[in-house]
Structure 1
């Protein structure tokens, strides 16, 4: 099975879901963009998405491509965001999407699991400096891009984490027997 993407706008509980899937025994890959923001913010001339989105997108492409290659080594693996997300963020910022990003966006599981931002859990911080309304705009841009890339968007209902894990396993017809 190709790597499975869990994505959606910020503040949707994606990372909690990914971590719980990892606890259940599935190989998981953390959100590289958040890690890159944390790393780059420590550098004097760090490349941050709100200052240089195109430059940050190039950094993400490298890391996310490596993640996809590592995820392919497992029968089932989950990614917290993936290369198509780069296209969504570039689209949302009205920036051109280079063909390299479109080509690299292929090769994932055909169903993409989307978590919608939830106001009750949304936290604005140094790594997520925008208001909840912008998180919803990002979410909608991501849905559109994934659909345009030919992926089936599957919305993961907002419910307990255990119920979300059951939903994911049922939707993909898998069970943690790894």
Structure 2
């Protein structure tokens, strides 16, 4: 069985709490990698660029691929675990959602650059879902995105761990415990 770097992925639909959970992990001293999509959208909007998902989805996917390749390479230089807000596999899901072909170069990257086999799936959570100037999907599309991410990760050989809908501290501690780190009292007191 191949040895994968200590890279843990958070995935799911938009607005499911991934970025908040990533920030909570960072506050606990964990290494984190921000979501490519949001950063690319900010960059493209700042320069009136064309690499936006609502303007040129293929270009946006290629920009995400370049971002994720660089992020994976940089994470190899860090000590300890690294938590990613999405990964290369999410790009396949994005392309599938947009009925766009998945290039062989992306499939090769997904085969070569691996993460821990257990991936944390944050399910669609209508009560916390909000649109903003970077997140334009409606709730139905967010739910569909979660379903597609579930499919593509399983197809890529990953095992999904669904993160329960709990307080942010409880979700953080759940992820830490499942990653082999000791939980704090917040998770131990979580409702069943």
Q: Shorter-chain TM-score: which interval?
A: over 0.9
Alignment of 1:52-131 (within 5 A): 52-73=56-77, 74-105=79-110, 106-131=113-138
Gaps of 5+ in 1: none
1:45-93 Cα offsets, whole Å, 9 max, x none, are 4211122111111111111111111222332010111111110010111
In the alignment, structure 2 segments of 5+ residues that lack a partner are 184-192
Select the residue among 6, 9, 24 that pairs with 1:20: 24
**Within 2, Cα distance between the matches of 1:28 and 1:51?**
29
C-alpha contact 2:31 2:80 (8 A) present in aligned 1: no
The residue that corresponds to 2:171 in the other structure is 164
> What is the CA distance between 1:141 and its match in structure 2?
0.7
Query: Alpha carbon RMSD of aligned pairs, Å?
Result: 1.4
Q: Distance in 2 between matches of 1:68 and 1:38?
A: 21
User: Matches of 1:65 and 1:56 in 2, distance apart?
Assistant: 14
Q: Distance in 2 between matches of 1:159 and 1:67?
A: 29
Q: Secondary structure at the match of 2:48?
A: coil
SS in 2 for 1:153: strand
Q: 2:35–2:85: 8 Å Cα contact kept in structure 1?
A: yes
> Using a 3 Å threshold, how does the CA distance of structure 1 residues 92 and 26 change in structure 2: closer, same or farther?
same
**Matched-pair contact (CA < 8 Å) for 1:5–1:81:** yes
Displacement of 1:132 in angstroms is 0.6
Determine if the alignment matches structure 1 residue 155 to structure 2 residue 162: yes
Paired residues in the alignment total: 176
TM-score, length-scaled by structure 1: 0.94
- Partner of 1:104, secondary structure, is helix
How far does residue 175 in structure 1 lie from its aligned partner after superposition? Answer: 4.0
**Is residue 2–residue 107 contact of structure 1 (8 Å, CA) maintained in 2?**
no
